[in-house]
Each structure stands twice: as structure tokens, then as C-alpha cells.
């Protein structure tokens, strides 16, 4: 399978990618490639759990249940606008009938981008300008890192809003090996180097070079240990930092009540409701019976249409966007829960 870069126009053909704002679409575009399958080649097998989102661009992809073709997806058709068999683990296998071109995207990355795109709609003007260079670029880069995928999305906005900007000159030490941990850092401009002093090297062994969007300092905060390395600026730049208490509160304390599929169904059966916060195109393609659809970016506008006496089980593909939606509801006095793992896990 070969890979080549694709255009934004092509990427916007697919749902829910077509709902991303321009900057986030451009950021995602840098992480996506066009790949190819030969006739008879398998894209994935029933039971696979690798979190990749696939879209068919050209050709015909066969979906098989125990070796029997039960459905086909042809590039350029309406069904091809949606992800191929998105539920994990895969319930079907996928095989190319002819030459197939397809797009492959890290599912966690796509979900993080969708969450930030929708969560940040109302406060984006406040976030811009907090760093004197790069605008939202460093935030977008940060959200693309695997480590940040683990952060509860309901906290993402609060984290960014509580960060402080600190400027440094080349040669300045940001944190020193052996010192107490007090902040979590994101490099937003310039470059830095990570070094560790050893008995054989007082000058320090270089462990890593940091670029814009890289994070550091979290190990000491999580473990309540001393700093295990020194970070020094190698060019003029700046960081955004988050205090230890905020770091622990926003990242480590459980904020929301997560439900299993069985627990969620009991609440719905006893008078609760499913609240699906995905985009309408995703909802139309697949949703829970009886669910009401309010996209995440509309929650604040339509929250008054919800019944305060009803318990809501908020759901999306994975639980990332729904946790953000449940946070908003709970903050405003509604009873909201989150479906653990999302509807694609069931």
C-alpha cells in the first residue's frame, strides 16, 4: 500500500471531516495519506481492534461476514462518504474487489480534532493571543499527540484557559534536574533541549530536543518526585505552563460518571434518554433507537430544549465528545452520564 498526500477538497467529501473548521482541517490533512489496495487484498479482518478510520475514495470494497459478501462500498457514492464499518472490534472483514484507493486516519486523532473543533467554538477568540506566536498552531499540535488523547476532553478548554505564558531567551533554564515539580509545560515558540546530569557527565547527556507543541514536566507532577532532567532553551521562545494543582485536578480527578452499555440501557429503560452529540451526518448513518441528536457545538444554544427532570446518557463514537457534552449539561444542573467507549464499542 503506497501513500501520497491528498487535497483538502477531497478530504471534505467525507463525514464528519467536512464539519471541521478550516484550520483544523488543514492540521488533519497533514496526517492523512491516500493509500491503495490491489484486487483481492484485505483492508481489515473481522475482530480487528486497531483504531483506524477508513474511507473509500475509488473502487469497490467488499464487506464480508464469515467469508460471504454482505455489502459493498463504492468510491464516489453516498455510502462512501461515511467511515467503513466503524465499530470496534470489527464485525466484518473488508476486501478490495478491484483497485481501491482509500484514506486511513488514526481514529483517536480524528475524534480529538472533532472534539476540540466543537468544544472551542465559543471561546476560540479568548484562546487566541495567549501565546504571542503561533496562534492556535501549538494547541492543534498538542491535541494531535497521543498523550493528549488520554486527557478528559471536558477538561481541555479549562486547561488552555488556565495556562500562563512565560517568555525565555536562548540559554535560559526552564526547569532544573533535582528541583521540585511545580508546573506542566508546553513549548509554544522556539526550541529547547532536555539533558540529564550523570556521575560521568556533569554537563549533562542530551536526552531530547523539543519543538513547538512538545510537552514536558508532567512526570514529576504525577509521581510527586524531583525533576529528573534539565530543560534549557536553545533559541528565544516561550512556553505555556499549568500549575501543579490545576494539572492534578484537571487531569487526574474523575469528573464524570461513565456507564457501561448495560447500565446506560437501564437508565434509558426507566425514563432516561440517549443524547447523541455527533454531527447530523454521523447520526443519520448510525444511532441508538430513540436518541435525540444535538451536535456538541449546539449544546449551549439548545440546552433549554432539554428536560431538567430527565436523565440523559450522552453518547458519540468513542466517549470523547460525549464527555464534553455531559460536562456542559452537568455544569448547568442537568443529570448527564457518559456511555463508556461510545456506540462504536458496542
pLDDT digits over 16-46, tens only? Answer: 999 888 877 888 888 888 999 999 999 999 9
Cβ pair 188, 140 in contact under 8 A = no
For the ranges 125-139, 225-239, 309-323, which has the lowest average pLDDT? 125-139
For the ranges 61-75, 106-120, 289-303, which has the lowest average pLDDT? 106-120
Cβ pair 221, 181 in contact under 8 A = yes
The answer as to CATH 3.10.150.10 being correct for domain 8-107 is no
More confident residue, 224 or 216: 216
What are the extents of the domains in the chain? 8-107, 120-151+153-252, 258-345
Tell me what pLDDT residue 221 has.
73
Tell me what pLDDT residue 92 has.
96
Spot the catalytic one: 154, 259, 316, 338. Answer: 316
Same fold, 120-151+153-252 and 258-345: no
For the ranges 51-65, 171-185, 303-317, 320-334, which has the lowest average pLDDT? 320-334
Q: For residues 1 and 96, what is the distance between their CA atoms, to the nearest angstrom?
A: 12
Best-predicted range by mean pLDDT (23-32, 113-122, 221-230)? 23-32
Cβ pair 323, 274 in contact under 8 A = no
pLDDT of 128 > 90? The answer is: no
Cβ pair 208, 232 in contact under 8 A = no
What's the CATH number for 120-151+153-252?
2.60.120.10
CA dist 132 → 127, 136, 162, 165, 167 (Å): 11, 10, 16, 9, 9
pLDDT tens-digit series, residues 252-307: 454 578 899 999 999 999 999 999 999 999 999 999 999 999 988 788 778 889 99
Q: Mean pLDDT of all residues in the chain?
A: 84
The answer to whether residue 316 is catalytic is yes
More confident residue, 223 or 218: 218
Q: Cis link prior to 16 (omega < 30° from 0)?
A: yes
What's the CATH number for 258-345?
3.40.250.10
Torsion angle of C-alpha atoms 309, 315, 319, 322, degrees rounded to 10: -60
Tell me what pLDDT residue 206 has.
84
Q: How many CA atoms lie within 13 A of 118 on its CB side?
A: 29
Q: 67-100: b or e for each residue (b if 16 or more CB lie within 10 Å)?
A: eeeeeebbbeeeebbbbbbbebebebbbbbbeeb
Q: For residues 299 and 314, what is the distance between their CA atoms, to the nearest angstrom?
A: 11
Q: For residue 76, is it left (φ>0), alpha (ψ between -120 and 50) or beta?
A: left
Three-state DSSP class for residue 309? coil
- Name residues whose C-beta falls within 8 Å of residue 115's C-beta, 6 or more positions apart in sequence: 153, 156, 296, 320, 321, 324
Q: For residues 188 and 167, what is the distance between their CA atoms, to the nearest angstrom?
A: 10
Q: For residue 67, is it left (φ>0), alpha (ψ between -120 and 50) or beta?
A: left
Q: For residues 28 and 43, what is the distance between their CA atoms, to the nearest angstrom?
A: 22
Q: 151-183: b or e for each residue (b if 16 or more CB lie within 10 Å)?
A: bbbbbbbebbebbeeebbeeebebbebeeebeb
Tell me what pLDDT residue 150 has.
59
How confident is the model over 173-190, as a mean pLDDT? 91
- Angle, CA 252 vertex, CA 20 and CA 233 arms, to 5°: 75
Tell me what pLDDT residue 129 has.
45
Whether the full predicted model's pTM is greater than 0.85, yes or no, is no
Amino acid at each position: 500500500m503506497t501513500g501520497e498526500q491528498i487535497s483538502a477538497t477531497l478530504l471534505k467529501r467525507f463525514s464528519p471531516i467536512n464539519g471541521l473548521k478550516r484550520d483544523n482541517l488543514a492540521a488533519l490533512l497533514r496526517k492523512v495519506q491516500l493509500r491503495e489496495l490491489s484486487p483481492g487484498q484485505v483492508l481489515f479482518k473481522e475482530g480487528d481492534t486497531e483504531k483506524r478510520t477508513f474511507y473509500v475514495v475509488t473502487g469497490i470494497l467488499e464487506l464480508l461476514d464469515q467469508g460471504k459478501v454482505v455489502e459493498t462500498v463504492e468510491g464516489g457514492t453516498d455510502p462512501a462518504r461515511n467511515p467503513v464499518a466503524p465499530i470496534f472490534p470489527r464485525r466484518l472483514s473488508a476486501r478490495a474487489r478491484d483497485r481501491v484507493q482509500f484514506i486511513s486516519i488514526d481514529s483517536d486523532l480524528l475524534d480529538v480534532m472533532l472534539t476540540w473543533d466543537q468544544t472551542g467554538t465559543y471561546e476560540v477568540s479568548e484562546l487566541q493571543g495567549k501565546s504571542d506566536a503561533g496562534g492556535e498552531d501549538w494547541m492543534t499540535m498538542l491535541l494531535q499527540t497521543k498523550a493528549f488523547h488520554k486527557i478528559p476532553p471536558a477538561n481541555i478548554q479549562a486547561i488552555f484557559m488556565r495556562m500562563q505564558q512565560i517568555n525565555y531567551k536562548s540559554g535560559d533554564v526552564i526547569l532544573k534536574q533535582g528541583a521540585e515539580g511545580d508546573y506542566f509545560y508546553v513549548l509554544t515558540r522556539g526550541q529547547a533541549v532536555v539533558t540529564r546530569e550523570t556521575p560521568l557527565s556533569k554537563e549533562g547527556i542530551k536526552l531530547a530536543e523539543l519543538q513547538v507543541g512538545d510537552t514536558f514536566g508532567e512526570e514529576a507532577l504525577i509521581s510527586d518526585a524531583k525533576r529528573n532532567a534539565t530543560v534549557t532553551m536553545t533559541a528565544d521562545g516561550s512556553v505555556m505552563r499549568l500549575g501543579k494543582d490545576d494539572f492534578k485536578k484537571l487531569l487526574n480527578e474523575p469528573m464524570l460518571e461513565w456507564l457501561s452499555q448495560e447500565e446506560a440501557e437501564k437508565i434509558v429503560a426507566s425514563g432516561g434518554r440517549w443524547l447523541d452529540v455527533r454531527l447530523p451526518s454521523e447520526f443519520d448513518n448510525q444511532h441508538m433507537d430513540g436518541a435525540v441528536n444535538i451536535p456538541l457545538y449546539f449544546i449551549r444554544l439548545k440546552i433549554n430544549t432539554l428536560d431538567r427532570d430527565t436523565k440523559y446518557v450522552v453518547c458519540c463514537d468513542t466517549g470523547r465528545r460525549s464527555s464534553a457534552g455531559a460536562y456542559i449539561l452537568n455544569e448547568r444542573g442537568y443529570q448527564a452520564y457518559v456511555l463508556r467507549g461510545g456506540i462504536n464499542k458496542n
